[in-house]
Copies of this chain bind each other. A is one copy, B any other.
């Protein structure tokens, strides 16, 4: 069974930003799917197991953005 978590990312301004965040979060082990809504900053992550929020925060920062 998969689980879904939603985070809010600040600072994304365009589809390039969306692509950067998606790419970094997808690299977290166990992540199955990442959906980003540019308008709201909502990043919905589907994973096999419970996600480590710190890993998500680190991935978002690696892309150059921050969690709200």
Residues of A bordering B, CB below 8 Å = 13-14, 16-17, 20
Contacts and interface: CB of A to CB of B under 8 A. Distances in A.
A14 to B, nearest CB: 5
A14 B13 CA distance: 7
Q: Which of A14, A17, A20 has the most CB of B within 10 A?
A: A14
Contacts of A17: 14, 16
A44 B11 CA distance: 26
Contacts of A20: 16
A16 B63 CA distance: 11
Q: Which of A16, A17, A20 has the most CB of B within 10 A?
A: A16
A16 to B, nearest CB: 3
